[in-house]
Structure formats: C-alpha cells, structure tokens
C-alpha cells in the first residue's frame, strides 16, 4: 500500500507565507498563523502515517531490497520479503546442527542403534535360560538354531545305494526321487549320517514303501538324520477270512518291520463217519477228515484216509474204529441210531466235549448212527 503524503493543496492558505509585511494581526493571531502548518497539516499527517504503519498491511508499504537468491517475483517490500523468507525450508542462513546444539543425521542414527543394543542386552541379562542350567546365559547352539530355524528346501538323489540330501539348515524337506531299499544308506551334504524315524532305523521303516514322488521332512544335526512321521504303512498278511485258520500265520507290518505275528488256532475242519450215506452204505462205512496236518487211519485195516475231504466206502460194515496222528480238543455230534460213538471206553453223547490223545481209537458204531467230531484246538 502507499502511505498518504502532504501535498501543496494541504498547505494552501496556511501559515505566514503570502501575508502583508504588516499583517495587522494581534499577537495571538500571529502566533496561530506561525504554527498553523505544524498544527493543522504536519501533526495530522504524522499521526495518519503512524496509523497506516500500525495497520496489518503497513509493512507492505515499506520498501526492502530482496536478499541474494530470492526470486524477483517477490514484491520488494518488507511484508512480502519476510513472508517469502518464512516459507523458505532450504535453511537460507546455512545454520548447522552444531550451532544449535543438535545431532547430525549420522549422530542420530548412531544414538538410536546404541540405545536398541543397550535395551536388548538388558532384557537378555534379566532373562533365565535353562538350556545349560545357568541363569542368564543363552547356549550357543540355541542361538545358532534361532538364526536359521525355518524349514529349508533340500534336494534328494539316489546314487547306487546312497540317498543324498543336499541343502542348508537344520530343518529340511525334500521330494523323494527314489524308494528306499534294504541295505541303503544316507548322506547329508556329502557326509554319511545315521538315519532314523522315531526310535527305528529309517531303512527298516521306509524300505519297500512307495516314497518316490512324495515329500519327507527331517531334522539333521551332526551325524544324524531324523525323519519326521510315523513308522510307515501298516499292512496285514495272511488274513483271508474272518477267523485265522490253524496252520496259517497272520503278520502285521509297519513299513517293512514286522510288529506282530499270530498263528491261527481256529479249525474249520472236521472228522466224521458212520451212518448211511447217499449211496446206501451203512454205518461205519463212511469216514472223512478235513483238518490240515491231521491224518485219520482206519484201525481195522490200517487204510489211510487221505486229507482233506476224502471219503472211503466199505459196504456191509457195521462198526469201524479210527485213530488220528495228533492230539486235540473236540466236540462230538451224533444223530440217530442205538449205538453212540465210543472213546476211551465211554460213550460220547451229542454235544459232548472231550480231549483226544493221539493214537487212541474212536469207535464209530452203525445202525444209522452218524458222527461228526469238531476239532476246536490242537496243542503246539
């Protein structure tokens, strides 16, 4: 803004200029005439200038030379130059951190890093780590694991009978490129190691299982390689019916390892004879055996009854005595007739359990009597 100036118009008709040599004025009028310009023009003009300077826009009327480097687009007065200087964020006075007692950027970063280390050291000093039994001490092995405890990708190859795992880190996973066979060994990064799955040898558990194309995870440390997971696929061999027949053995395996074997004790076979068969042969002429390992012999003529399921007929017989090559426990079943079968001098009734001793005779009596001996167990 422009300040108000005193002009010639403001001075016109005021003061002593232009009065006659003898003004003809009283002393008071003469005094007033002499001071008229000061009182009526100068003093009001100075007061008006003071008011204009005190206004918010007063500084805009005061000229000022622009500092070096300031854009010429900034008006050359105090208000504009001061505002432009305030908005300048490029440190126009080149003040240094040392001049104001502040840290430099490098000193600030160093101070923060030192404080972080100080805080961390204090926390660890207060902690109790029982790895090696001493409070406040972290075992070096724990620190090493903490630095690399993720599961890392390993590669697997089989060269000859050696399964080679290549990678880094204590925890690994790998895609198997071959199955494990009996006699195979393991190596990690070229070093031969003992391989385990739980408490069992890895080879014993893994051999014969379809591992090709499957992922395995493990922990390797020192001279050992510990696979994670169970003991392998569970298979059952020799179980072909609801009951385990005598002479058969059921084998339970986990992987290639045999975890249990059971021998069959149930006998599906039978020994029978007597009665009239479909061909009209009478009692005692019909003898059969269907038990693995048991041979039945006709006592009368020592004719051996083949095993299993063979039948021999001899028309006209009313009584036949047989003997067996093994001892066993059995139940006797009879149907019809007047003469039940006899063993060891006593009759055998229908449903009667008895124990047979190898080589003794069982008498199968005729007159339409049929006898079936159901073997329930044979001692080892």
Residue carrying the six token digits 């009526």 = 40
Please check whether residue 48 lies inside any domain of the structure. Answer: yes
Q: How far apart are CA 209 and CA 206, in angstroms?
A: 6
The pLDDT score that the predictor gives to residue 24 is 80
| 86 in a structural domain | no
Residue 95 lies in a domain: no
Distance between start and end Cα atoms, the chain:
128
Per-residue pLDDT at 275: 47
- Statement to judge: residues 166 and 244 lie in one domain: no
Q: How far is CA 98 from CA 90, 94, 228, 261, 267, in A?
A: 17, 12, 62, 88, 104
215, 193: one domain: yes
- In this prediction, residue 316 carries a pLDDT of 41
Say yes or no: 314 and 257 in one domain.
Answer: no
Is 369 domain-assigned? yes
Q: Please tell me whether residues 187 and 142 are part of one structural domain.
A: no
DSSP code for 345: T
User: Does residue 342 sit in the same domain as residue 278?
Assistant: yes
Query: Does residue 350 lie in a domain region?
Result: yes
Residues 178 and 222 in one domain: yes
Beta bridge partners of 271: 289, 373
Q: Are 213 and 243 part of one and the same domain? A: no
Tell me, yes or no, whether 334 and 291 share the same domain: yes
Q: State the residue range of the domain holding 187.
A: 155-227
Residue 94 lies in a domain: no
Q: Which two tokens stand for residue 39?
A: 């009182």
One-letter-per-residue 3-state SS of 264-329:
CCECCCEEEEECCCCCCCCCCCCEEECCCCCCEEECCCCCEECCCCCCECCCCCCEEEEEECCCEE
In a domain, 201, yes or no: yes
- Find, among 359, 353, 373, the residue nearest to 295 by Cα: 359
* Cα separation, 202 vs 218, whole angstroms: 11
Q: What region, left, alpha or beta, does residue 37 occupy, with left being phi > 0 and alpha being psi -120 to 50 degrees?
A: alpha
pLDDT of residue 231: 60
DSSP 108-172: HHHHHHHHHHHHHHHHHHH----SSS-TT---HHHHHHHHT-SEEE-EEEEETTEEEEE--SSEE
Q: Are residues 332 and 276 in the same domain?
A: yes
Token couple for 339: 């003469």
Element (H, E) at 34: helix 27-37
Cα–Cα nearest to 70, from 89, 83, 84 = 84
Please state the domain count of the chain.
Answer: 5
By CB neighbour count within 10 A (0-12 exposed, 13-18 middle, 19+ buried), where does 273 fall? buried
pTM: 0.32
Q: Are residues 312 and 360 in the same domain?
A: yes
Strands 171-175, 151-153: pairing kind: parallel
Contact 319, 283 (CB under 8 A): yes
| pLDDT at res. 167 | 94
3-state SS class at 216: strand
The pair of structure tokens assigned to 19 is 């009065």
Closest by Cα among 149, 179, 312 to 256:
179
In order along its 380 residues, the chain shows pLDDT tens digits of: 677 888 888 888 887 777 787 878 888 888 888 888 888 888 888 888 788 777 877 767 777 888 887 888 878 877 887 888 778 777 777 778 788 888 888 888 888 888 887 776 555 554 544 445 554 445 555 555 555 558 999 999 999 999 999 999 999 999 999 999 999 999 999 999 999 988 888 998 888 888 999 999 999 999 999 998 766 667 777 776 555 666 678 888 776 677 787 776 555 556 766 544 444 444 444 566 777 778 888 776 433 443 334 444 343 445 677 888 989 888 888 765 556 778 888 888 888 999 999 999 887 765 445 677 888 888 77
Handedness of CA 313, 314, 320, 325 (dihedral sign): negative
Q: In the block, which residue shows the tokens 């000061």?
A: 38
Q: Are residues 347 and 298 in the same domain?
A: yes
Separation between Cα atoms, residue 236 and residue 254, nearest integer Å:
9
Same-domain check for residues 133 and 160: no
Q: Is 90 inside a domain boundary?
A: no
């Amino acid at each position: 803004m422009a300040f108000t100036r005193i002009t010639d118009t403001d001075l016109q008709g005021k003061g002593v200029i232009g009065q006659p040599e003898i003004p003809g004025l009283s002393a008071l009028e003469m005094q007033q005439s002499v001071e008229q310009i000061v009182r009526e023009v100068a003093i009001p003009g100075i007061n008006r200038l003071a008011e204009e300077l005190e206004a918010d826009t007063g500084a805009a009327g005061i000229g000022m030379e622009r500092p070096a480097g300031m854009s010429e687009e900034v008006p050359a007065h105090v208000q504009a130059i001061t505002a432009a200087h305030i908005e300048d964020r490029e440190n126009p006075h080149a003040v240094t951190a040392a001049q104001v007692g502040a840290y430099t950027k490098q000193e600030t970063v160093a101070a923060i890093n030192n404080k972080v280390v100080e805080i961390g050291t204090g926390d660890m000093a207060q902690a109790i780590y029982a790895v090696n039994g001493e409070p406040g001490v972290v075992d070096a092995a724990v620190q090493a694991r903490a630095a690399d405890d993720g599961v890392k990708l390993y590669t697997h190859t089989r060269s000859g009978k050696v399964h080679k795992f290549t990678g880094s880190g204590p925890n690994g996973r790998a895609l198997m490129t071959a199955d494990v066979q009996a006699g195979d060994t393991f190596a990690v990064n070229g070093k031969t190691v003992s391989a385990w799955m739980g408490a069992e040898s890895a080879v014993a558990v893994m051999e014969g299982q379809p591992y090709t194309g499957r992922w395995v995870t493990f922990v390797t440390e020192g001279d050992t390689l510990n696979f994670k997971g169970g003991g392998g696929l569970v298979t059952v061999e020799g179980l072909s019916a609801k009951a385990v027949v005598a002479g058969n053995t059921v084998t339970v395996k986990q992987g290639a390892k045999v975890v249990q074997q059971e021998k069959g004790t149930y006998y599906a076979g039978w020994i029978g004879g007597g009665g009239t068969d479909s061909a009209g042969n009478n009692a005692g002429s019909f003898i059969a055996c269907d038990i693995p390992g048991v041979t039945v012999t006709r006592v009368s003529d020592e004719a051996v009854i083949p095993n299993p399921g063979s039948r021999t007929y001899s028309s006209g017989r009313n009584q036949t005595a047989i003997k067996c090559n093994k001892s066993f426990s059995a139940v006797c079943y009879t149907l019809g007739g007047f003469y039940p079968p006899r063993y060891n001098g006593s009759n055998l009734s229908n449903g009667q359990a008895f124990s047979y001793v190898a080589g003794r005779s069982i008498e199968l009596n005729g007159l339409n009597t049929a006898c079936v001996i159901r073997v329930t167990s044979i001692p080892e």
